[in-house]
Amino acid sequence: MTKFAYINNQPFPIEKGETMLSFLRRNLGKKSIPTLCDAPNLEPFGSCRVCSVDVALQQDGKTKAMASCHSPVFENAFIYPDSKNIQKLRKNIIELVLTDHPLDCLTCEVNGNCELQDVAAQVGIRAVRYPEGANHLDREKDRSHPYMTSDLSKCINCYRCVRACDEVQGEFVLNMAGRGFDAHIIKGFDQSFMQSDCVSCGACAQACPTSAISDVFESKSVVASSEKTRTVCTYCGVGCNLEVSTKNGKILSIQAPYEAEANGGHTCLKGRYAFKFYNHPDRLRTPLIRKNGDLVESTWEEAYDFICSKLTEIKTNFGPDAIAGISSARTPNEENYLMQKFMRAVIGTNNIDCCARVCHSPTALGMQRAFGTGAATNSIEDLNHTDCILIIGANPTDAHPVTGAKMKQKLMKGVTGIVIDPRRIELAKYATYHLQLRPGTNVALLNMMLYFIITEDAVDKDFVDNRTEGFKEFKEEILKLDIDQLECITGVDKHLVREASLAYAKANAGMEFHGLGVTEHSQGTFTVQLISDLAMITGNIGKKGAGVNPLRGQNNVQGAADMGAQPHQGAGYYDVTDPEINARYNTFYRSKVPDHVGYKIPEMFDAAINGSLKALWLIGEDVVQTDPNTQKVIRAMNNLDLLIVQEIFMTETAKYATVILPGTSFLEKSGTFTNGERRIQRVNKVVDPLPGTKSDGEIIVEIMNRMGYPQPPYTPEGMLEEISQIVPFFAGVTWENLTDNGLQWPVFEGGKDTKMLHQKEFKRSSGKGKFTFINWRESKEVETHGEEYPYIITTNRELEHYNCGTMTRRTGNVDILTEDVLMIHPKDAADHFIEDGEMVCVESARGKVDIKAFITDEVRPGVFSSTFHFPEIMLNNITSDVHDSEAMCPEYKVVMCRIRKSKGKFKTKQIST
């Protein structure tokens, strides 16, 4: 039965769990009640009392002032939100707050939106009666950080920054020290932002209602009077929504919209602050063509003519399969769709791939085998409904920081956490179990878990019987395993594995997350199949708070594969070799599309080296820096007749190009990105393209037309309409109905979307999930090189830098993290007389790199870890081109190496920002 409460004696229905404030704002409007200490993404606090309202138990009865933000609304409450008494109370509070605040506050033009000013105006305060009350106006400003600054003379002790740091990011850097008049905000042990453990997410700056903590602004422009555009972040697959403030075509700042479903008012430092690359002097601004060995500026006309005549010549002389394309998961769906269409319908080859190959291709394949669909089964929001979070081979607080922060919050509040990682990642510190396995032994470890779940009778029999197939054979194989041998292989205590498996199996709902520590291995696809087995055996699929959730890497890697930027499946994951599908594509594209599988990226390089591949068109992927075995990649690039690089910066790969086409960044174009939870979101153009550049979509369309294929001019609306006709799970997607929060595919005609997959049946032809047993196998890398190179080096990522780093190295992030380092355990360091900060040489069968040692017990003895963000190091000089046996994802994570002190002196080149 509906319950009512009264506002000014008018009845309004109450919703479950509402506070008085949310009840009042829902019915009277967002701005109806002034608040200071309250913020949409923080827990109610009830400290400033500005939100007070009069409440009586009966109509016009005796009232009591109550802070509405933390008082639950109750049935038959009579609320008087603007009584005379309340108006006076609010004025008094604000006046006292202002008394302890710089006196020019009411007239100052701060760079952010000043909520205090707004609230003062709203309650009718124009002057302060007791100016001599101020006691902390001489506080020092903190100018240590490239992005955030504090001027605590403006602080009103509302605790919003402290709570944002605790409740949103979970970093606990900010605190209130002192008592009474001396109460003041401190960072860490009374340090500066830079000295403290701050991760620069900016949640405090966004939360601050004055500008006591704020973003650092380049100019004095006033953000409040700027234009605002909503778009989606270009970095990782979380897909944070951004609200970008611009003035006169320049970006001033970025905030996180509170109502964004993907990130709810939060971002990391990349999303919020690392945008200045967009108009950096190093941006490519004109096409370049190689003439007599040098890259020379050209017009777009010349570049197009050159490309079209070269491609035509190669196609005529060597056939369409002598040409290949690599599409960019950094660019929108529409551009990826066009690129694969160009390769298939205009050139006539399936030689098209994208960075999913080196990333989550095993996820797509493994999950397709087990469930029929290769995408995350659940939504990130499900973290609110889970009892157990299992994270294998992923490091979310660095690589997917907004999701990582949510996980951290859950783990701190008592949700069971299981981390399976050779490194002690940040979340391992909050988890219940950390299974610190030897790199390359996931299959053995997951088999141990599956063994215990079977032998300890923790199998969800109903789910297994009704929803799956292949269990009987699977179980027989699992029971044959020798647990002691697996314990030895993985290096993880079997008792610990047993406990962790039972904790996951017995949770009401257990949610699995995985990353590259799973996929970038020779048994990557098999590991994903075992992860799927683990979810099925425990019935953790098709329900809330559960599922298999790959943390997809690039902002649009899900989308690039959905759009068909892969050689075996076209747009919508249709098998290119199926004659019926082929006929469908032929009709749709009005062109003959080949029906044999094309080259995957590593096969492209092999073909270039052996001379059968002549031309490669590469959009937004720096393969020389990021693909394994750099010297081999360089050989491939050098052996091509035509290398087209479409980029925003002169990357390591672009240096080998025959032609360079200057594209535009996400801030200069419109389209859609699909995040890791299948959410298709609108990317809206924020600023005009830099002069001389063109959007990637426009470039592809112009080349299509010049090659004789009529493709209408690029618009996101038009492209989505075309895509929705061929990609079945986009059937109901239109530019308009995506609105602000996007839609999660499959999207049906009419626009209904899907938060969770496989609720009733799986997408495989039998409708059942498939159990598969896989035995662990030592990597060839270890077998071949283990003796000569006894250490393992694996890769991780750092929060501040993104992949090849072209973008983040051209922002203030480089002031926070300046170089790649080698994590080495104290024991290994001591064995080789290596001191912290010394240069070491790490050598593998492919080559060697000089890198600075960072001694830490975050890694286990025998295992090193590093990053690949800086071209001065070029870590991939040592990685191997051994691949996942099924999906050909490189085995970046297990590289055998040896180490010695290095004589080399080295300094990272600082790019001026």
Ligand X SMILES: Nc1nc2c(c(=O)[nH]1)N[C@H]1C(S)=C(S)[C@@H](COP(=O)(O)OP(=O)(O)OC[C@H]3O[C@@H](n4cnc5c(=O)[nH]c(N)nc54)[C@H](O)[C@@H]3O)O[C@H]1N2
Which residue type does 909 have?
K
Rounded alpha-carbon distances, angstroms, from residue 836 to 202, 544, 612, 797, 817: 31, 46, 48, 20, 17
Tokens of 256: 């996180």
**Residue 626 interacts with, from ligand X, Mo ion, none (CB under 5-8 Å by kind):** ligand X
Chain-centroid distance of CA 254 in Å reads: 17
Q: Cβ closer to ligand X: 763 or 848?
A: 848
Grouping H, G, I as helix, E, B as strand and the rest as coil, residue 733 is coil
Question: What H or E segment, with its residue span, contains residue 401?
Answer: helix 401-412
CB under 6 A: which stretch of 71-79, 254-262, 373-381, 642-650 binds ligand X? 642-650
Q: Side by side, which strands form the sheet with 352-354?
A: 294-297, 288-291, 659-662, 642-647, 615-619, 323-327, 352-354
Q: What is the DSSP letter of 890?
A: B
Separation CA 788–CA 778 (nearest Å): 16
Give the distance, in angstroms, between the CA of residue 210 and the centroid of all CA atoms in the same chain. Answer: 30
Q: Is residue 330 within the footprint of ligand X (CB under 6 A)?
A: yes
- Which of ligand X, Mo ion, none does residue 423 bind to, with CB < 5 to 8 Å depending on kind? ligand X
Quick check: 328 and 620 in contact, CB under 8 A? Answer: yes
Report the partner that residue 802 touches, choosing among Mo ion, ligand X, none (CB closer than 5 to 8 A by kind).
ligand X
Q: Which does 523 bind (CB under 5 to 8 A by kind): Mo ion, ligand X, none?
A: none
Q: Judge residue 398's burial from the number of C-beta atoms within 10 Å of its C-beta, 0-12 exposed, 13-18 middle, 19 or more buried.
A: buried
When CB distances are held under 5 to 8 angstroms depending on the partner's kind, the choice from Mo ion, ligand X, none that residue 421 binds is: ligand X
Number of residues located near ligand X, criterion CB under 6 A:
63
Tokens of residue 368, six digits: 């397709």
112 binds, among Mo ion, ligand X, none (CB under 5 to 8 A by kind): none
Instruction: Give the contact letters, 303-342, x = binds to Mo ion (CB under 5 A), - = no.
Output: ----------------------------------------
> Please, which of residues 553-572 interact with ligand X by CB under 6 A?
553-554
Spatial contact of 512 and 547, defined as CB atoms under 8 Å apart: yes
Contact region with ligand X (CB under 6 A), list: 57-65, 374-382, 658-666, 675-683 = 658-666
* Cα(437)–Cα(487) distance, integer angstroms: 9
Tokens 């004095």 belong to residue = 220
Binding track over 679-698 against ligand X, x by CB under 6 A: -----------------x--
Stretches 175-183, 298-306, 359-367, 885-893: which one binds Mo ion (CB under 5 A)?
A: 359-367
Q: Residue 369: name its binding partner from Mo ion, ligand X, none (Cβ under 5 to 8 Å by kind).
A: none
Residues of span 522-561 touching Mo ion by CB under 5 A: 553
| Contact map string, positions 357 to 396, toward ligand X, x by CB under 6 A | -xx--------------------------------xxxx-
For ligand X, the binding residue among 71, 333, 651, 711 (CB under 6 A) is 651
Nearer to Mo ion, 298 or 361 (CB): 361
Does 54 interact with ligand X (rule: CB under 6 A)? no
Counting contacts by CB under 5 A, is residue 887 touching Mo ion?
A: no
**C-beta closer to ligand X: residue 584 or 777:** 777
Tell me the window of 215-223, 352-360, 621-629, 635-643 that interacts with Mo ion (CB under 5 A): 352-360
Check binding of 530 to ligand X (CB under 6 A): no
- Is the peptide bond between 44 and the residue preceding it cis, with omega within 30 degrees of 0? no
Handedness of CA 895, 900, 902, 906 (dihedral sign): positive
Binding to ligand X, residues 536-555 (CB under 6 A): 551, 553-554
Ranked by CB distance to Mo ion, the top (closest) residue is 553
CB of 808 to ligand X, least distance (A): 8
Site for ligand X in 402-431 (CB under 6 A): 420-423, 425
d(CA 672, CA 664): 15
Least separation in angstroms between residue 880's CB and ligand X is: 10
Nearest CB to ligand X, comparing residues 123 and 650: 650
Cβ neighbourhood burial of 391 (10 Å; 0-12, 13-18, 19+): buried
Question: Is the Cβ–Cβ distance between 29 and 73 less than 8 Å?
Answer: no
870 touching ligand X, by CB under 6 A: no
Asked whether the beta carbons of 866 and 821 are under 8 A apart, the reply is yes
Q: Does 359 bind Mo ion (CB under 5 A)?
A: yes
Q: Compute the distance between CA of residue 872 and CA of residue 698 in angstroms, rounded to an integer.
A: 33
Alpha helices in 280-360 (DSSP H): 300-318, 333-341
Rounded distance between C-alpha atoms, residue 375 and residue 550, angstroms: 7
By CB under 6 A, the residues from 749 to 808 that bind ligand X are: 794-799, 801-804, 806-807
Which one among 166, 520, 781, 881 touches ligand X, defined by CB under 6 A? Answer: 520
Say which entry of ligand X, Mo ion, none residue 442 contacts (CB below 5 to 8 A, set by partner kind): ligand X
Which span (28-36, 133-141, 314-322, 514-522) binds ligand X, by CB under 6 A?
514-522
| Helices and strands, number each (H, E), in the chain | 28, 36
**516 near ligand X, judged by CB under 6 A:** yes
User: What distance in Å separates the CA atoms of residue 114 and residue 155, rounded to the nearest whole number?
Assistant: 12
**CB contact at 8 A, 598 and 605:** no
Phi, then psi, of 609 in degrees rounded to 5: -65, -40
- What is the closest distance, in whole angstroms, from the C-beta atom of residue 522 to Mo ion in the complex? 18
In whole angstroms, the minimum distance from the beta carbon of 552 to Mo ion comes to 8
Out of 504, 649, 735, 791, point to the residue binding ligand X (CB under 6 A).
Answer: 649
- Looking at 82-90, 254-262, 355-363, 683-691, which segment touches Mo ion (CB under 5 A)? 355-363
Strand partners, 325: 352, 617
Question: Which pair of tokens denotes residue 26?
Answer: 């829902």
49 binds, among Mo ion, ligand X, none (CB under 5 to 8 A by kind): none
Question: Residues 631, 636, 642, 644: is their CA dihedral positive or negative?
Answer: negative
Question: Residue 322's binding partner, choosing from Mo ion, ligand X, none, with beta-carbon cut-off 5 to 8 A by kind?
Answer: none
Q: Please give the single-letter amino acid code of residue 697.
A: G
Site residues for ligand X, window 226-245 (CB under 6 A)?
Answer: 236
Q: Do the Cβ atoms of 65 and 58 come closer than 8 Å?
A: no
CB of 371 to ligand X, least distance (A): 20
Cα–Cα distance for residue pair 75/20, rounded to 1 Å: 11
Does 81 interact with ligand X (rule: CB under 6 A)? no
If you ran DSSP here, which 8-state letter would residue 713 be given? P
> How many CB atoms are located within 10 Å of the residue 333 CB?
28
620 binds ligand X (CB under 6 A): yes
Select 221 or 525, whichever has its Cβ closest to ligand X. Answer: 525
461 within 8 A of 447, measured Cβ to Cβ: no
The CB-of-130 to ligand X minimum distance in angstroms stands at: 49
For residue 378, the minimal CB distance to ligand X (Å) is 17
What does the buried/exposed string (b/e) look like for 441-458 if buried means 16 or more CB atoms within 10 Å of the residue's CB?
bbbbbbbbbbbbbbeeeb
Binding at 269: pick from ligand X, Mo ion, none (beta carbon under 5-8 Å per type): none
Reference 156, options 51, 53, 48; nearest CA is: 48
Q: Contact residues for Mo ion (CB under 5 A)?
A: 359, 553
Q: Contact residues for ligand X (CB under 6 A)?
A: 236, 328, 330-331, 355, 358-359, 392-395, 398-400, 420-423, 425, 437, 439-440, 442, 515-517, 520, 551, 553-554, 619-622, 626, 646-649, 651, 663, 665-666, 696, 794-799, 801-804, 806-807, 865, 868, 875-876, 879, 892-893
